[in-house]
Amino acid sequence: MLGTVLGPPVNTVRTSFVTSGIISTSAGGVVIDAWGLRAPLWLGAAMAVTGLLTVLPDFGHRAATRTSSVVAGSSTPAERPERS
């Protein structure tokens, strides 16, 4: 029963991982042909930096939310309102 509830999101995530694997493998082959065997290391580093950059807006949003709750006077976890 749990599999039917989580089916579409799990399939979407799986499909995106397969697609990113195909793209990165193809890009690795292209850079090896163009720049030699050290190029995939640089490609991997660039992909890692890109991945980290995609997470930064979420960290900024969480820091702003945390700062606004402290400014509002709710400094302890018991005083903070629960998320809905």
77 falls within a domain: no
82 falls within a domain: no
CB neighbour class for 83 (10 Å; exposed up to 12, middle 13-18, buried from 19):
exposed
Extract the tokens encoding 13. 């995530």
Three-state DSSP at 37 gives coil
78 falls within a domain: no
Domain coverage including residue 26: 2-71
80 falls within a domain: no
- Tell me how far apart the alpha carbons of residues 65 and 60 are, in angstroms, rounded to a whole number: 9
Q: Evaluate if pTM is beyond 0.85.
A: no
pLDDT tens, position by position, 2-53: 555 556 777 787 888 888 888 888 888 898 999 999 988 898 899 899 988 9
Domain count, the chain: 1
83 falls within a domain: no
62 falls within a domain: yes
